[in-house]
Structure 1
């Protein structure tokens, strides 16, 4: 997953570090040249020097190919402009903005930012969840991202083929609502057996994605 982080302060640094450890392709945009050198040396990631609200800087960072642009500077206005530019100009799939003033949360959401978060812990938790869920295809985010409707395609030679749903250790917070098989759709029951090539439609709480991946033997 390609993630661009705008802002190389403490929040951006620790966020980049956490995401890099999870195998994400991380790029940081930071206006301070000395900070850029420090980040590049310590984290060994791509760093672009410039203003993240400027179209040319986002282009240089690869915004057109980014799965997520996360703006985590200390200025809410800059974070908003960055997210809007990434979404409208480059078609970035998901934008995340750090908000420093709680009074601005509703405004940023109303102006098109996909996810607005406040604390460093919340930002890291949210983006780590996005990385986890990248193993499946999110169709519809629900309740501000707390839940999701996701699609999972099982390989033809999947090791669980022939197993029934009741034999799997599926999290209680996940519900397989339908299975597409050979052009037909069926509503599964506990005794329904999985086939290779099945496409599962699952409604789940987003925090349970790791358990779902583990139960279905989904690799990174």
Structure 2
């Protein structure tokens, strides 16, 4: 497969690294010579230095009339460059063009992408805001990603000294909670990970990843953090950019009596936001000003979210908020290194928009025939993908217990018609089922092959 990537920032680099490791033929177009040289040294990819919106530059990358390029992925920070690169690529016969869109108006409806001839346009702010909302509502969760359009999701909870499941096996927890429809897919313990069997016993510090119905997640939370469930009433957001604004809009729409405050140091922006968001309290100030935070009641907020464009600042803000007794802190970071460092800091949750965007793009490249979203859980090296069982699937008509799934692959949930099922060993796989597949390491392609889905 031949792929041309325009833009070698965090998103482009992640995609190039993932696909090159799979042995794909990758060409990266990057206008910054220093970034291009670093990329060429670190990855097994071809690099073209230049502006990816210019046809002569794209021609040097292999995109010309009648070319054999399979994908053009435009993921620079400039919508105009991305759109022009995709337009040129499609005119030259590239099979599929995928564009990052920083302006969310491009993804309000699919009409813009269709009008521009682009196969996929994605604004990561939407999915990131949704994940942050989930993290705030399920306040004990350190990870949250929705499945099946929000009817289910994957969540991560840590076992504490007060957790009712402490010292109990998975079998025992199941017997004591027979109506709890969920699947524990992975456990991280002491830096190592396992796919738990029924004999697994919960220990303090275990980080447990589960797939559950959305309406069951609060019962699950009680098994890990009893008494932590509380209605979301007050949220403070530092950073009035696109992500912070979209999150505020979601919260106001979802919770009638919620109080949302946005703090930003740009006075003109604050004036504009105050007019656009009449139900949000907009404050002109410095998010690191402890007097301001205390005056605005940070000690009483249910959620504090740092969404500025500066990763380091977001981490500092979240640590400060934790010190000032905010109930739940979330920091938005875009660099992979900072995501890893934050795990050892007093920050409840870290969200990476670049990871979200890279996940969407990689799903369209790797699994164009799949049904739904690809979720990459970087800290445990795992992926989840919603996959539709094809008509001629080799496992069609088989009971789940009769399918030889390698260790590390779990069919976590099945959507059949309007129903979502937590499968047992006797579930018969049927054509048209949409299966939420969990896979560790590099096992997801093997799971796709087992289901008979073309790649």
TM norm structure 2: 0.34
- Return the alpha-carbon distance in structure 1 between the equivalents of residues 358 and 61 of structure 2: 20
Poorly superposed stretches of 4+, deviation over 6 Å = 141-154
The aligned residue for residue 69 of structure 1 is 72
The within-5 A match list for 1:114-133 is 114-119=119-124, 120-133=354-367
Alpha-carbon deviation of 1:44?
2.6
Alpha-carbon deviation of 1:207?
6.6
- Return the alpha-carbon distance in structure 2 between the equivalents of residues 76 and 166 of structure 1: 47
Alpha-carbon deviation of 1:3?
1.3
- Return the alpha-carbon distance in structure 1 between the equivalents of residues 97 and 367 of structure 2: 16
Q: Per-residue displacement from partner, 1:119-153 (whole Å, max 9, x unpaired)? A: 3223322333234336xxx5xx8799998989798
RMSD of equivalent CA atoms: 3.9
The aligned residue for residue 449 of structure 2 is 213
Which structure has more RCO (C-alpha within 8 Å, separation ≥ 6)? 1
The aligned residue for residue 166 of structure 1 is 398
The within-5 A match list for 1:54-65 is 54-63=54-63, 64-65=67-68
Structure 2 spans left out of the alignment, 5+ residues: 125-353, 375-384, 406-410, 418-427, 438-443
Distance change >3 Å, CA 147–CA 14, structure 1 → 2: closer
**Secondary structure of 2:398's aligned partner:** helix
Q: How many residues align?
A: 183
**Secondary structure of 1:19's aligned partner:** helix
Q: Quick check: which has more Rg, 1 or 2?
A: 2
Alpha-carbon deviation of 1:65?
1.8
Structure 1 spans left out of the alignment, 5+ residues: 155-159, 176-189, 191-201
Distance change >3 Å, CA 132–CA 70, structure 1 → 2: closer
> Does structure 2 conserve the Cα–Cα contact (< 8 Å) formed by 1:75 and 1:100?
yes
- Return the alpha-carbon distance in structure 2 between the equivalents of residues 174 and 81 of structure 1: 40
**Secondary structure of 1:29's aligned partner:** strand
Q: Per-residue displacement from partner, 1:146-194 (whole Å, max 9, x unpaired)? A: 989897989xxxxx6xx8732564964599xxxxxxxxxxxxxx8xxxx
